[in-house]
Amino acid sequence: MENTMNTRQLRDMFLSVARRVVESEDFLTDIDLKIGDGDHGFGMALGFKAVKTALEGKEFPTVEALFQEVGMTLLDTMGGASGVLFGTMFISGVARQEPHERADLALLAGIFRRALEALKKRGKARVGDKTMVDAFEPAAAGLEEGAAQGVSLKEGLALCAAGAKKGMEYTRECVARFGRAKSYGTKAIGLQDAGATSVWIIFQAMSDWASENI
């Protein structure tokens, strides 16, 4: 049982995330068509196809450099609100942080917690607004819980993915306060948010990779 990952493992984990997001394009489009513009799946696939190209066969000296590469690639290629928000998810947690060669649960928890706080500030969304924050908040909490209990990386990422899933499911109960979904008011109840679904896909793919490879 290993409790840290080197940057090559982390890169492989993000490559697996990228593949999963790209495969989910139609699923995300179907969700987004109901209450959004229907462009979320396309945008996510576009961004993570570029992530695949940016990471494949490359070596990254530090965890921070890798996170930044993923985030900047998303920011530059996706456009829209999602480009900024998913870029923030990977960039803002490592900004101004001392570089690390290996990642453990505590490091990942710290990165994603800072990214979450930056995201909330930038997007002005709170839990319950039917956004990606609803899945991200319990995901970050899962990582923190795992780190506090000293569980393995694999178990910590499983807690994180379970939190994200619960949060994504919770968005079905919420009325949107942002974006196009807002104009649907209470008609959006029962439908899940596409951004929260993407957050779950990302953390679930991380957890699945860890359970197979660590």
Partner 1 sequence: MNKIINQPEQMIEQMLEGYIATCPDLLEALPRSKGILTKRKKDKVSIVTGGGSGNEPWIIGYVGEGLADGAALGNVYIAPPARAILNVTKAVSHEKGVIYICTNHAGDVLNFELVGELAEMDGIRTRCVFVADDITSAPRERQSERRGVAGIAMVMKVAGAACDAGLELDDAVRVIQKANRNTFTFSVTTSPGYLPSGKAMCELPDGFIEYGMGFNGEPGVLRTELKPADEIADTMLKYLLDDSGISGGDEIAVMVNGFGFTSLLELSIVTRRVAESLREKGIVLHDIFIGTLFQPQGTGGFSISILKLDEELKPYYDAPAYSPFFKKYR
Residues that bind partner 1 (CB under 8 A): 37, 39, 43, 75-85, 122-123, 178-180, 183-184
Closest distance between partner 1 and the C-beta of residue 169, in Å?
A: 23
Whether the Cβ atoms of residue 39 and residue 78 lie closer than 8 Å to each other: no
Of residues 79 and 99, the one with the C-beta less far from partner 1:
79
Least distance (Å) between residue 115 CB and partner 1 = 15
CB of 83 to partner 1, least distance (A): 5
What angle, rounded to 10 degrees, do the helices at 194-213 and 80-91 form? 40
Please give the DSSP secondary-structure letter assigned to residue 178. Answer: S
Q: For residues 141 and 136, what is the distance between their CA atoms, to the nearest angstrom?
A: 9
What six digits make up the tokens of 101? 């060669």
CA angle 20-25-31, nearest 5°? 115
Tokens of 4: 């840290």
| Three-class DSSP category at 126 | coil
Nearer to partner 1, 36 or 156 (CB): 36
* Residue 142 or 195 with smaller CB distance to partner 1: 195
Q: Which is nearer to partner 1, 36 or 142 (CB)?
A: 36
The identity of residue 101, as a single letter, is: E
Q: Give the separation between CA 179 and CA 80, rounded to whole angstroms.
A: 11
CB of 67 to partner 1, least distance (A): 18
Nearest CB to partner 1, comparing residues 27 and 184? 184
**Least spacing, CB of residue 102 vs partner 1, in Å:** 31
The CA-based angle 156-113-74, given to 5 degrees, is: 100
